[in-house]
A = this chain, B = another copy of it.
């Protein structure tokens, strides 16, 4: 695919406290995605016997058929979804157009860090009443990548090391943060964590990223 690199806000170019992911907008696709999230949550919560799930299935299939009829070939859609700020609208962590994303909204800070608050519910459950460890890893992986962007770097994840300090609760606000801590040529070292509202760290992560462009151009 021939994709134009999107313009991303960085600490050097954008005002402090800029939202560095995409914010939900009052547009049809964002409203439809929010409604799809409601269905996911409600489907997991509903009584398996009382709700008329065969009727629900029929209506959902009708909607999927309708949307499929208006879908371009996958290759075309992939190009379109990466245009402009598309990069931040479709991923499964912060993507406001992705029903799988909570979505997490991240803000770039003057000190070089990024952070956002998210409350996770039943679809993200691992142990009873707590966040799935893999979901925590996923949110941190993405947040570390956004922290790199905010610092003006971009790299592919080479290693992600996640430490689980205590179970991460569902149903309460969690702060997810990330920060680029050091650079050595193409190697970028970034850390982050997930905390409860009282500041208790539940999960922390350290990532090594490789800036591919460092190999492609003279430095």
Q: How far is the CA of A102 from the CA of B141 in the complex (A)?
A: 19
Encode A134-155 as 1/0 by CB contact (under 8 A) with B. 1101111110010000000000
Interface check A61, CB cutoff 8 A: yes
Are B92 and A71 in contact (CB-based, < 8 A)?
no
| Chain A 28-86 interface residues, beta-carbon cutoff 8 Å to B | 28-29, 31-36, 38-48, 50-54, 56-57, 59-61, 63-64, 66-68, 70-72, 74, 77-78, 81-82
Least CB distance from A30 to B in Å reads 9
Interface check A218, CB cutoff 8 A: no
Checking B31, B97, B128, B135 against A44 with a beta-carbon cut-off of 8 angstroms, the contacting residue is B97
Least CB distance from A154 to B in Å reads 11
Are B47 and A56 in contact (CB-based, < 8 A)?
no
Residues of B within 8 A of A41 (CB): 64
Checking B35, B142, B156, B162 against A64 with a beta-carbon cut-off of 8 angstroms, the contacting residue is B35
Stretch from A15-23, A119-127, A179-187 at the B interface: A119-127
Least CB distance from A150 to B in Å reads 17
Are B39 and A36 in contact (CB-based, < 8 A)?
yes
Known A1-B128, A137-B162: A71·B93 in contact at CB below 8 Å: no
Interface check A133, CB cutoff 8 A: yes
Are A137 and B128 in contact (CB-based, < 8 A)?
no
Closest to A28 in B: B53
Closest to A130 in B: B156
Are B40 and A90 in contact (CB-based, < 8 A)?
no
Residues of B within 8 A of A64 (CB): 35, 38-39, 41-42
- Would you mind naming 26 contact pairs between A and B with Cβ atoms under 8 Å apart? A28-B48, A31-B53, A38-B60, A39-B99, A40-B40, A40-B100, A42-B67, A43-B99, A44-B81, A44-B99, A45-B71, A46-B71, A50-B70, A51-B66, A56-B67, A74-B122, A74-B171, A78-B129, A81-B122, A92-B123, A134-B139, A158-B163, A159-B163, A159-B164, A160-B162, A160-B164
